Amino acid sequence: MFRMTDSKRIAAGIMGFMMLFIVLFSASVIASESVHDCTGEECPICACINQCENTLRQVGGGIDLHTDSIAPFIFILLAAFPVTASLTAETLVSRKIRLNN
């Protein structure tokens, strides 16, 4: 079975949190600065908003997923998970019962 080393797992977790922070920060900047008083063509706030929009486009540009077709599949998997967990057969060995004569 494939196992990641601890350092790879930690690095992947850190990168995941960094991506989440970047997405949330960019979205909050766009939301907070969307109603600013624009000074014209060289507006620094508009430049910042454009940079945040470009960042969000690049983060989400990896795979074009259609949520309409994926959402029912995910719902079915989530609904089936508790059912499959209860269907596993319990044996004496899995319950660690010792069979003495």
Domain total of the chain:
1
pTM (predicted TM-score): 0.49
Q: How far apart are CA 49 and CA 27, in angstroms?
A: 9
Beta carbons within 8 Å of 58's beta carbon, 6+ residues apart: none
Give 1's pLDDT tier (boundaries 50, 70, 90): very low
Mean pLDDT of 91-101: 79
Q: Is residue 101 part of a domain?
A: no
pLDDT tens-digit map of 36-60: 888 888 888 888 888 888 887 887 6
Q: Is residue 1 part of a domain?
A: no
* pLDDT confidence of residue 67: 60
Domain that holds residue 34: 6-62+70-87
Q: Is residue 76 part of a domain?
A: yes
The mean predicted confidence, pLDDT, of the chain is 77
How large is the C-alpha radius of gyration of the chain? Answer: 24
Query: How far from 14 is each of 26, 27, 46, 62, CA to CA, in Å?
Result: 18, 20, 30, 20
